[in-house]
Amino acid sequence: MRALLIPLLTLALVGCATTGAGDDGIAIDTASRGQPMPGANCVVQTGAGSWNVVTPAVVKVGDATGNLRIVCDRPGYRTSEFVYAPTARYSSGSSVGIGLGGIGRHVGLGVGVNVPLGGGSRGAYPPKVTIDMNPQ
């Protein structure tokens, strides 16, 4: 029985040891009056850095660190700005649970600990942003 329990416990721990961080990037598009409008010059900024792109584009910004700010310009259109505060992806904080139980003279005690592996509460940026550009 013990030989079966150890591999199962190892598999369960490996399954729990993920941070959930994946970065497929943020798709940046521009539109005017509901119609796609490629070719705008945009600056994408987060707490991790700044990227210059021409729409449509995909920007890999990594984990959410600070607000996402996108400023787009195109000749003949007003400058447009988008600011997004990251939304919580999972809760921060650790927790400890203690259980006590038994029958007759046999008593069992269990202790469980939950520690977030991702370094606390982090947020997420939207996977796609479309910036509305208005003519001058």
List the domains of the chain with CATH numbers. Answer: 20-91+121-132 (2.60.40)
- Structure confidence by residue, pLDDT tens digits, 76-106: 999 999 899 887 655 455 555 555 555 566 6
What six digits make up the tokens of 75? 């000749």
Map residue 29 onto helix, strand or coil: strand
Containing H/E element for 7? helix 2-16
Structure-token match 């959930």, residue found: 20
Map residue 122 onto helix, strand or coil: coil
In 3D, which of 60, 29, 31, 23 has the Cα closest to residue 42? 29
Is residue 15 scored above 80 in pLDDT? no
As a whole number of angstroms, the longest Cα–Cα distance in the chain is: 84
- Structure confidence by residue, pLDDT tens digits, 59-76: 998 888 889 999 999 999
Is residue 27 scored above 80 in pLDDT? yes
- Structure confidence by residue, pLDDT tens digits, 35-65: 999 999 999 999 889 999 999 999 998 888 8
**Residue 129 β-bridge partners:** 28
**pTM recorded for the entire structure:** 0.60
- Cβ atoms of 85 and 64 closer than 8 Å: no
